[in-house]
Amino acid sequence: MAKLIEGKIVAKKILENLSDEILFLEKKPCLAVIIAGDDAASKIYVNSKKKKAEELGIKSVVIELPQNCTQQEILEKIYTLNNDDSVNGILVQLPLPPQINAKEVVEKIHPLKDVDGLHPYNLGQIAAGNKPHAYPCTPKGIIRLLEYYDISIAGKHAVIIGRSNLVGRPLSLMLLNENATVTVCHSKTKNLSQITQQADILVSAAGQRGLVKADMVKDGAVVIDVGINRQEDGKLCGDVDFWGAEPRASYITPVPGGVGPMTICSLMQNTFDLYKIQNKI
**Gyration radius (Cα) of the chain, Å:** 19
Report the C-alpha dihedral over residues 38, 34, 46, 209, rounded to 10 degrees. 70
116 is catalytic: yes
Residue 160 C-beta: closest distance to ligand NDP, Å: 9
Residue 25 C-beta: closest distance to ligand NDP, Å: 27
Which of 35, 58, 123, 167 is close enough to bind ligand NDP by CB under 6 A?
167
Residue 23 C-beta: closest distance to ligand NDP, Å: 26
Q: Does 263 bind ligand NDP (CB under 6 A)?
A: yes
Whole-number Å distance between alpha carbons of 253 and 9: 12
Q: Facing residues of 142 across strands?
A: none
Q: Which of 114, 116, 200, 239 is catalytic?
A: 116
Are 159 and 198 in contact by the 8 Å Cβ rule? The answer is yes
Contact window for ligand NDP (CB under 6 A) among 36-44, 57-65, 144-152, 160-168: 160-168
Q: Does 89 bind ligand NDP (CB under 6 A)?
A: no
241 is catalytic: no
Q: Does 171 bind ligand NDP (CB under 6 A)?
A: no
Q: Does 228 bind ligand NDP (CB under 6 A)?
A: yes
Q: Does 259 bind ligand NDP (CB under 6 A)?
A: yes
Among candidate residues 114, 91, 16, the one with its CA nearest the CA of residue 56: 16
Q: Which of 77, 93, 108, 239 is catalytic?
A: 93
Site for ligand NDP in 187-206 (CB under 6 A): 187-189, 192, 205-206
CA 125, distance to chain mean position in Å, is: 17
Residue 280 C-beta: closest distance to ligand NDP, Å: 31
Among candidate residues 150, 257, 162, the one with its CA nearest the CA of residue 202: 162
Which of 185, 221, 224, 267 is close enough to bind ligand NDP by CB under 6 A?
185
Residue 250 C-beta: closest distance to ligand NDP, Å: 21
200 is catalytic: no
Are 166 and 118 in contact by the 8 Å Cβ rule? The answer is yes
CA 18 to each of CA 11, 60, 77, 123, 273: distance values in angstroms, whole numbers, following the listed order: 10, 16, 28, 25, 10
Which of residues 110 and 261 has its CB atom nearest to ligand NDP in the complex?
A: 261
Residue 28 C-beta: closest distance to ligand NDP, Å: 25
Q: In what order do the strands lie in the sheet with 181-185?
A: 3-4, 251-252, 222-225, 201-204, 157-161, 181-185
Whole-number Å distance between alpha carbons of 148 and 134: 20
Among candidate residues 196, 232, 237, 189, the one with its CA nearest the CA of residue 213: 196
Give the number of residues in contact with ligand NDP, rule: CB under 6 A.
Answer: 26
Catalytic residues: 49, 93, 116
Q: Which residues bind ligand NDP (CB under 6 A)?
A: 138, 161-164, 166-168, 185-189, 192, 205-208, 211, 226-229, 259-260, 263
